Amino acid sequence: DSIFINRLVIHIDSLNNMNKKFCGILHLYGTHAPYWYKEKNRTIKGNSRETDYYNSIYQQDVSLAVLLKYLEEKKLIDNTVIIYTSDHGEAFGKRDVSGHLTRYFEEVVGIPLWIYIPEKLFQHYDKFTIKNNLLKNISNIDILPTILDLLKVLINSELYKKDGGISLLKEIPRDREILITNYNNINYARFDKSYCLITDSLKYIYRTNNEKLDVSIYNFIADKDETYNLNKNNKNVVEVNYELLKNL
């Protein structure tokens, strides 16, 4: 990652010297197994996959700092929008869950997502609304509508209503539904089908187990460790959304 970022800085610098605008997608890989980091950046002690993972995250921060420092020194930061996100988290044995493929606890689906917007752009939006959105459920499917919003591109509301993406610069409904799945019938056909629906503070997890439907429900706000299955302990809490399952 550090080598690639240094090359990216050189490339952006050449574009800047030619007065050219740029749009880039930077795909970093260091936080994927086997979790790469330099020994001098080993800030968390221990000898496990989990400590290696967190050290690789710190290594990525160190690498990204080179890019951010360059943008600041060249005064490009005031004209650049930066979006940072991930595709998934990682579990390391808690609740007997490891990896990220077919379970939907917060350590797997609670991904980072932050956006830096220069003040010259940010001043045109309602900061109170955006601040309130920090408390709402969001997804990386919201990135494209947000970019289009910044570019003042008209959005086909029906298209994004169907796919669920919402501009993060607009008010986000607290009860919006976000659908997550790591299953598809191409790459992961060997796994049991599994889907997760998040709305407000509840997380509904639908999994097939030996062709039988298993539904678990967690209040991930009140029960941060997601140890209390509401569907198992109180059958009357919620009805299974079979209509949703039929349409998947």
The pLDDT tens digits for 173-201 are: 888 889 888 766 665 555 667 889 999 99
The CA distances from residue 237 to 137, 180, 217, in Å, are: 21, 22, 9
More reliable by pLDDT, 102 or 40: 40
pLDDT, averaged across the chain: 86
Going by pLDDT thresholds of 50, 70 and 90, the confidence category of residue 236 is: very low
pLDDT at position 99 is 82
The CA distances from residue 5 to 28, 67, 87, 139, in Å, are: 9, 7, 20, 26
Going by pLDDT thresholds of 50, 70 and 90, the confidence category of residue 69 is: very high
pLDDT at position 245 is 55
pLDDT at position 154 is 78
For residues 225 and 94, give the distance between their C-alpha atoms in angstroms, rounded to a whole number: 10
pLDDT at position 40 is 93
Q: Is 235 exposed, middle or buried (0-12, 13-18, 19+ CB in 10 A)?
A: exposed
pLDDT at position 246 is 57
